[in-house]
Chain A
């Protein structure tokens, strides 16, 4: 199974809401990633987890809070977002961090109103 799943597919939230995005993989990968992608732009790296520990935070605002409960799951908790945070949020995994193929999920389309 080479699939990365993400839920929900779409999410609309107000600026005072709290919501979470979920990502799951069962390939035994020990590196997991969150990316943000705006329309007509490349994915931008937000966070990297390596062996369930946060290894990279690309200066992401604290209103985004990642969590890796176990080696198969990755969450992104959202609180007090701004309209400019509306984007496609992509999760990816790879066997380890470094020069390996990353497997991407289909993404969650987030709209902040």
Chain B
């Protein structure tokens, strides 16, 4: 099955700085690469995703980059704000095309 690793597990940044979270996967057949954000007391919510026919996708302050050769994709958040504080999960599909969640990254943005 899909083996997904996420780094770092915790990340603390100053407001206004950038944050980068990396996700490494094992299944070379994966073709869908989503990032979910989970705030306290809520379920995960998709914030950005990319399919394997593109290398980068941007949505305002959030971007995802994909390196299929190296089997990793990254979440980039620029100009971080306190409301970006949350747990972020990558979730590339694995066996049966079901989402396989990484271990999560707790992002803390200090005002």
Contact = CB atoms under 8 A, between A and B. Distances in A.
Q: Provide the main secondary structure of the chain A interface.
A: loop
A48 B46 CA distance: 19
B25 interface: no
A102 B47 CA distance: 11
B42 A106 contact: yes
A41 B49 CA distance: 21
Interface of A: 4, 40-45, 48, 56, 90, 92, 97-99, 101-107
Contact of A104 (B31, B32, B43, B103): B43
Contacts of A40: 104
Contact of A106 (B31, B41, B93, B99): B41
Interface of B: 31-32, 34, 41-46, 49, 51, 89, 93, 96-99, 101-104
A98 B97 contact: yes
Contacts of A98: 93, 97
Contacts of B97: 97-99
Interface centre among A90, A103, A104, A106 (most CB of B within 10 A): A104
B45 A42 contact: no
Contacts of B45: 104
A99 B52 CA distance: 12
